[in-house]
Structure 1
Amino acid sequence: MASIPDFLDRRLGFAAARRSRVMSDGSPQHDGTRFRNVRPRPAEGLAKSLGIIWNMLFRKPRGTVPAGTLPVHALSRAALEAAPDRSLYRLGHSTLLLKLRGEYWLTDPVFGERASPFKRMGPKRFHAPPIALADLPPLRGVILSHDHYDHLDRETVLALAATTGVFLTPLGVGDRLIEWGIDAAKVRQLDWWQSANVEGITFTATPAQHFSGRSLFDGNSTLWASWVLADDDLRVFFSGDTGYFDGFREIGERLGPFDVTLIETGAYDPQWPYVHMQPEETVQAHVDLRGRWLVPIHNGTFDLAMHRWQEPFERVTGLSLARGVALATPRMGERLDLAAPHRGERWWREVASEAEAVAARARGWPCRGEEGGANS
């Protein structure tokens, strides 16, 4: 991380304006000043924004951070090299490692201790990454959904630069990487519905309902996106961050059906419905996409909302069972076969305190050792 955090460096205001101006030509997502959603996000207003900040800082309920140690399956380079193609590993939050055609792809890489511009302040990891950054094999590519701190960590990206072949980004995010020192020849920036083919695998940037920015001066100066990966007969959807919108149905119609959907389920709240989905919407998005297996991501690593840390897993499990959706919940570091996923275990219950167990029962959720649920 730079000695001066991004949001304190006023020069980024000028850099943001330059990124936005350069990227605006020909993009329907740009209004001439900033990037925008298909469905405009209502203005929050200063009072609501300050209220959200106040609640996050001083009115956090208990249970937003695990009471114990999360079970993490440790990985090694040897294990990755021995794994078959079409393997997927959750490394934390929305950082996913995929092995395709003998090479490795990483989404939204965050290996830092905090999702923050500060080293000693901000949301801290619940668990260490299953594999150290230095132990990762060389990457064929990195796929970025947007530039928020919990999806794009500057130190991580710079550490990966020398051993990564290509960085696939939405418009403007690649310019940010180049400003940081990433070789421009390695950066490929896409607008929504544009595709890049890398050694037979097609990557398509698809719409999302979100926003961008890393400072007080660069809001929406870069684009945000979901991604579709097509490897012969395999189709994978990666949501990045998004609220629920009609775009899921269009993506499913144009590029689906999907073998696996990797969809955000966490850091949601009624206060920000336009940028993060409730679990009910996650399941509906999966259905809209015509997905076969749903893997909930954007959870289990950082405290970014007001809900209990394990709530996203519990809610999406019950909802998936009710709607007949096949749900996979691998541990961090556990291998998932993209061609033949397994359901996984309710690993989050292994760290539930008695108080959390009581609260879960009060909500009608079965606890560790009890019967019921989609993953029984």
Structure 2
Amino acid sequence: MKISKWLGVGFIALTVGACSVNNQLATQDSTLSQGSSYYHNGKFHNDDIMEANGFGKVLGLIGRYITEEKKHAVPDQPLPMKALSTEQLQALSNDQIHMVKLGHSSILLKVYGEFWLLDPVFSERASPFSFLGPKRFQQAPISIDDLPQIDKVLISHNHYDHLDKTSVKKLANKTKQFLVPLGVEADLSRWGVEPSKVLSFDWWQELQTDNALVAFTPTKHFSGRALSDGNKSLWGSWVIKGAKESIYFSGDSGYFDGFKKIGEKYGPFDLTFIETGAYDKDWADIHMTPEQSLQAHLDLQGKVMVPVHNGTFDLAFHAWFEPLERVSKAADEHNAVIRTPITGEIFNSDKHFAQVFWWKSLMPSL
């Protein structure tokens, strides 16, 4: 294995374990964070108790990345994608919510005329380094420069595959407002985003906008971008309830009973974007298997599920297509409605577009 490869994946293993590391070099706690009931002893905490990832487990993960053979982790040919243009997006109607998958967990919404971005990651790598770390399978269907003016950017947590420094810096001057978990406002401020543009959210905190109710809701996960800042900022999911339709965006999470609580409070949802990928037995608390992702959708009282967090970066040991195969099978077994639009395809909750198993023709012979 090339040294750049295992250094990159080794960093991801360290990130998985970062939440359990105490380091006196941690940045000063945010004043906003100290007002949260989920914040104590200098860190945010899940409702569910999680097993701490000790240094031994982190070393074991790095060992796996170096020695374990990964099969079909990266596609051997380009994945289907529809290029997007500014003109296409501007021409979309203003009477509903239009949606586009941009890759991984990045979603572009047109919310009754306003453009919103969820976890925008446009960089080539999900890494603190530009020269190593998980690399995109292919570029996004539109560049930040070609995006229209953005009304809102919503961030779920500060991991590199969800909070991208380069993308945020490019978006800073063309975005009216950033909605972030408590503690993440400090990252944005360092990267040049005007503090007046940033709203920080605790779990269950709501914001009524002109076009939708927005709520920040719990997940079972963690935060951190280095060994010194584990759980210094919050993590979570987003509820968007418009006049005609409602959407749930999971961010990252292990399976927990919080999905049922969110469904009871804000459901049913016309569409759910649920993380379905980058799972493994060694971090089962913080990422769901595809079967658990489908169950989370059912707990949320979702009508249509769109699996995200797959098909863009190699972040685990499973094949790139496995999440889609497994979640599709689980949906059939539970008579659930699932849709897997290709990257760049525009869709909405009213459009009854057919389910296309686009990845099957690209799967290698197993």
Q: What TM-score results when the alignment is normalised by the length of structure 2?
A: 0.91
Contact 1:147–1:212 (CA under 8 A) maintained in structure 2: yes
The answer on 1:105 being equivalent to 2:123 is: no
Aligned pairs for 1:148-163 (under 5 A) are: 148-163=159-174
Partner of 2:65: helix, strand, or coil? helix
Partner of residue 31, structure 1: 40
Of 134-143 and 77-86, deviating more is 77-86
- In the TM superposition, residue 83 of structure 1 has moved relative to its aligned partner by 2.1
1:303 to 314, 322, 340: 314
Tell me, in whole angstroms, the C-alpha distance in 2 between the residues paired with 1:168 and 1:326.
30
Contact 2:137–2:312 (CA under 8 A) maintained in structure 1: yes
Tell me, in whole angstroms, the C-alpha distance in 2 between the residues paired with 1:343 and 1:229.
24
Q: Give CA-to-partner distance per residue, 1:133-180, whole Å, 9 cap, x none.
A: 210111011000000000011010010111101000110112211122
CA pair 219-199 structure 1, distance change in 2 beyond 3 A: same
- In the TM superposition, residue 233 of structure 1 has moved relative to its aligned partner by 3.0
- In the TM superposition, residue 256 of structure 1 has moved relative to its aligned partner by 0.5
Partner of residue 192, structure 2: 181
- In the TM superposition, residue 92 of structure 1 has moved relative to its aligned partner by 0.3
Tell me, in whole angstroms, the C-alpha distance in 2 between the residues paired with 1:210 and 1:233.
31
Q: Give CA-to-partner distance per residue, 1:291-315, whole Å, 9 cap, x none.
A: 0000000000000000000000000
- In the TM superposition, residue 318 of structure 1 has moved relative to its aligned partner by 0.7
Contact 1:169–1:187 (CA under 8 A) maintained in structure 2: yes
CA pair 158-48 structure 1, distance change in 2 beyond 3 A: same
Contact 2:82–2:342 (CA under 8 A) maintained in structure 1: yes
Aligned pairs for 1:82-121 (under 5 A) are: 82-84=91-93, 85-121=96-132
Q: Give CA-to-partner distance per residue, 1:18-66, whole Å, 9 cap, x none.
A: 2x35233331111231001001210122222111122123324120000
- In the TM superposition, residue 72 of structure 1 has moved relative to its aligned partner by 0.8
Of 170-179 and 245-254, deviating more is 170-179
Aligned pairs for 1:119-158 (under 5 A) are: 119-158=130-169
Partner of residue 57, structure 1: 66
Partner of 2:44: helix, strand, or coil? coil
CA pair 158-115 structure 1, distance change in 2 beyond 3 A: same
The answer on 1:73 being equivalent to 2:52 is: no
Tell me, in whole angstroms, the C-alpha distance in 1 between the residues paired with 2:118 and 2:342.
17
Contact 2:212–2:242 (CA under 8 A) maintained in structure 1: yes
User: Which residue type is aligned with residue 278 of structure 1?
Assistant: T
Tell me, in whole angstroms, the C-alpha distance in 1 between the residues paired with 2:235 and 2:261.
17
Contact 1:192–1:205 (CA under 8 A) maintained in structure 2: yes
Partner of residue 47, structure 1: 56
Tell me, in whole angstroms, the C-alpha distance in 1 between the residues paired with 2:101 and 2:225.
25
Tell me, in whole angstroms, the C-alpha distance in 1 between the residues paired with 2:277 and 2:269.
21
Contact 1:107–1:142 (CA under 8 A) maintained in structure 2: yes
Contact 1:327–1:343 (CA under 8 A) maintained in structure 2: no
Partner of residue 253, structure 1: 264
CA pair 78-304 structure 1, distance change in 2 beyond 3 A: same
Tell me, in whole angstroms, the C-alpha distance in 2 between the residues paired with 1:306 and 1:23.
37
User: Which residue type is aligned with residue 59 of structure 2?
Assistant: L
Tell me, in whole angstroms, the C-alpha distance in 1 between the residues paired with 2:147 and 2:200.
24
CA pair 43-287 structure 1, distance change in 2 beyond 3 A: same
Tell me, in whole angstroms, the C-alpha distance in 1 between the residues paired with 2:64 and 2:35.
40
Partner of residue 319, structure 1: 330
Tell me, in whole angstroms, the C-alpha distance in 2 between the residues paired with 1:60 and 1:162.
44
CA pair 179-325 structure 1, distance change in 2 beyond 3 A: same
Tell me, in whole angstroms, the C-alpha distance in 2 between the residues paired with 1:303 and 1:218.
24
The answer on 1:234 being equivalent to 2:245 is: yes
CA pair 15-189 structure 1, distance change in 2 beyond 3 A: farther
Tell me, in whole angstroms, the C-alpha distance in 2 between the residues paired with 1:343 and 1:15.
52
**Identity %, equivalent residues:** 45
Contact 1:293–1:327 (CA under 8 A) maintained in structure 2: yes
Tell me, in whole angstroms, the C-alpha distance in 1 between the residues paired with 2:199 and 2:352.
30
The answer on 1:350 being equivalent to 2:351 is: no
Contact 1:171–1:223 (CA under 8 A) maintained in structure 2: yes
Partner of residue 293, structure 1: 304
Partner of 2:271: helix, strand, or coil? strand
Partner of 2:246: helix, strand, or coil? strand
CA pair 14-95 structure 1, distance change in 2 beyond 3 A: farther
Contact 2:34–2:40 (CA under 8 A) maintained in structure 1: no
- In the TM superposition, residue 127 of structure 1 has moved relative to its aligned partner by 1.2
Contact 2:33–2:233 (CA under 8 A) maintained in structure 1: no
Contact 2:33–2:183 (CA under 8 A) maintained in structure 1: no
Tell me, in whole angstroms, the C-alpha distance in 2 between the residues paired with 1:14 and 1:186.
31
